[in-house]
Amino acid sequence: MPRLSADAVDEMEALSTIFTERYEQTTENSAEIEIEAESDGDIAGRLFIIWPEGYPDEKAPLLSFTPADGYALDFDFQLHVQTAWAEMNACIVFDIVATLSSSVHKRVRGGQRSGGETNHTQAVNVESHEELSTPLDIVIGEVTVDRKSRFQSRGVELSSFEQLQAFRHQILQDKKVAQATHNILAYRFQKDGKVMEDFDDDGEGGAGIKLLFLLQKMGAMNCAVVVSRWFGGIKLGGDRFRDINESAKALVTAQKWGKN
């Protein structure tokens, strides 16, 4: 079991006390919380939490939010988490829960939300931003096929959130990638002596955190990997996680980004 800080243990116990029936402890250092939407009081999604060793001083919490059917967010959740932790350098899960509760909203027909605002996808932020002066050197792995589903990895060396956002933006300019069923992301880099790491499932629940664990196990640092999956019509069950990780592992190994 990871050696959790006193602050992390206190946060875990406080969440359990406050959210009671909506809180479920899944392991000694992970939990799930049902998020209630302030707008209507209904359960609007589930927040998956892992408290890593070194949180909150050295590492951010590993968080993944899965909206309930009919609900969405209008911002990049993973970027928000990393930005909040970098700015506060303290326990942030309570703040994240509050943000989700106040921000998650119902989708309505036509891609609009209440009030007429346009609904944007939560999983991948493709908002316009200032592009880096030099395009990133993105490497592309081989396509693998399992029962008609196709998998392909793309990766880049990086050292900042700006480069991470540019990476996501750049790969989505490829129409084939933009149309993938899922684009699962994991990244790790060092900033000011701290390890910044996180993941994005892009709707493939559980895939992102497994991809991040792979990068950790390989000792990969200062890189990001996106594995695209194009669903072929046949459900793969747990084999899809193996396919995703094997695609990423081949790319990381070929680029010699891992130490292990």
Read off the CATH number of the domain in which 157 is found: 3.30.230.30
Read off the CATH number of the domain in which 80 is found: 3.10.110.10
- 199, part of any domain: yes
Q: Which domain holds residue 18?
A: 6-113
Q: Are residues 145 and 249 in the same domain?
A: yes
Instruction: Encode pLDDT of 1-45 as tens digits.
Output: 568 888 889 888 888 888 888 899 988 888 999 998 887 788 999
Q: Are 199 and 212 in contact (CB under 8 A)?
A: yes
Q: Are residues 25 and 99 in the same domain?
A: yes
Q: Are residues 243 and 149 in the same domain?
A: yes
Q: Are residues 18 and 76 in the same domain?
A: yes
Q: Are residues 167 and 73 in the same domain?
A: no
- 44, part of any domain: yes
Structural domain count, the chain: 2
Q: Are residues 58 and 153 in the same domain?
A: no
CB neighbour class for 62 (10 Å; exposed up to 12, middle 13-18, buried from 19) = buried
Instruction: Encode pLDDT of 113-141 as tens digits.
Output: 333 332 333 333 333 344 455 688 899 99
Asked which of 78, 113, 148 is the last residue of a domain, the reply is 113
Q: Are residues 189 and 94 in the same domain?
A: no
* Strands lying side by side in the sheet with 71-72: 71-72, 105-108, 112-113
Asked which of 113, 130, 151 is the last residue of a domain, the reply is 113
Report for 71-80, 87-96, 176-185, 201-210: range of highest mean pLDDT: 176-185
Q: Are residues 160 and 220 in the same domain?
A: yes
Q: Is pLDDT of 213 > 70?
A: yes
Task: Quote the percentage of the chain above a pLDDT of 70.
Answer: 88
Phi, psi values for residue 215, rounded to 5°? -60, -40
CB neighbour class for 66 (10 Å; exposed up to 12, middle 13-18, buried from 19) = middle
pTM (whole model) above 0.75: no
Q: Are 200 and 237 in contact (CB under 8 A)?
A: no
Q: Are 223 and 257 in contact (CB under 8 A)?
A: yes
Q: Are residues 104 and 160 in the same domain?
A: no
